[in-house]
Every structure is written in C-alpha cells, then in structure tokens.
Structure 1
Amino acid sequence: MSDRGYNYNGHGTNSQGNHYCSRDYGNGSNSYHYSNTNGSYYYSNPNGSTYYNNGNGGSTYTSSSGYTRSSGYGSGSSGSSGSSGSSKK
C-alpha cells in the first residue's frame, strides 16, 4: 500500500484521447475515473457512490445506497421556448 492509502491498478489514455485511472484501496474497495475529450467525466468511488458530469453543466450523483441527485440538465419543457407569446403581427 502506498502513502496515499491506495495503489494504482492502471491509468492511461485510450486511442480516442480519453483518460482513465483505476485505484485499489486494499480492503476490497476499488475506484476509477475517466475524463473524455468532450469535457465529460465519471467517478466511481470506493464507497460505491458514483458521479457523472456531462461537461455541459449537467451532473448526476448516485450514493452507495442508490439515492440519485441530478442537476443542470434543465427540465426540457420549461424556460423560454419561443413557441408561446411570441407571435409576430
């Protein structure tokens, strides 16, 4: 085990230019993360939780117990769509 409390399982960059890193915490817990050239990234934490960010302000966190919280994606139908109240005369 290293001074950091984990050992690297592996890390690198794939042929698409996306980076990944995997860690072993020695107690049956592993984690990994990857970051993509489009700005998105994903973390799988040693406690079983995960976090995903799409690189455009949207993110999703899922706890180890399965609770999910998302933000930044918008509702899809609210906001100024320009379809109502904008008719030209």
Structure 2
Amino acid sequence: MSDKGYTYKSHGINNDGNHYCARDYGNNSNSYHYSNRDGSYYYSNSNGSTYYNNGSGGSTYTAPSGTKYSSGYGSGSSSGSSSSSGSK
C-alpha cells in the first residue's frame, strides 16, 4: 500500500490510444478510469459509483445505490436515464 492509500494495478495507453489507470485500495476495493482521445472520460470508483463525461457537456453519475443522475444532454436528460459505459 502506498502513502496515498492505494497502489497502482496498471496504467498506460490501451490499443485505442486512450489513457487508463487502475488502482487497488485493498479489501477488494478497486477503481479505474479512462481518459479517451475524443475528450470523454469514465471513472469507476472504489465505492461502487461511476461517472461518465462525454466530452461535449453531457455527464452521468451513477450512485452506489444504482440511481443515475444525468445533465447536459439536452431536453431528454433526466434522473434515471441510461449512460454510456465509456470507451475501453
């Protein structure tokens, strides 16, 4: 374990040219994120929540309970809308 409370499992650039980073917080608690070439990014947090930003002003946060909160997608945006899982 590092001073930061986690250790890096892996990080680098995947085959699509997107940056990724995976961390291990111990006790089966992991997180990872992708920063994609198109400006979008995706976080999977150690508490079970996720966050996706499409790089164009739209974003979706999914709480550990599974409730989704979206904003910036235009008139069809509301809580409970589906999100993209991000590029991997």
| Same fold by TM-score greater than 0.5 | yes
Q: Relative contact order, CA 8 A, sep 6+: which one is greater?
A: 2
Structure 2 unaligned runs (5+)? Answer: 77-88
**1:63 is the counterpart of 2:63:** yes
Q: Which has the greater radius of gyration?
A: 1
* Paired position in structure 1 for 2:26: 26
Per the TM alignment, residue 16 of structure 1 is displaced from its structure 2 partner at its CA by 2.3
Q: Deviations over 1:34-70 (max 9, x none)?
A: 0100000000000000000000000000000011100
CA distance in 2, matches of 1:27, 1:64: 17
Moved over 4 A (4+): none
When the two structures are aligned, how many residues end up with a matched partner? 76
TM-score by length of 2: 0.83
Residue identity over aligned pairs, in percent, reads 76
Gapped runs of 5+ residues in structure 1? Answer: 77-89
Cα RMSD (Å) of the superposition? 0.8
Amino acid in structure 1 at the alignment position of 2:73: Y
Cα offset, 1:27, TM superposition: 1.6
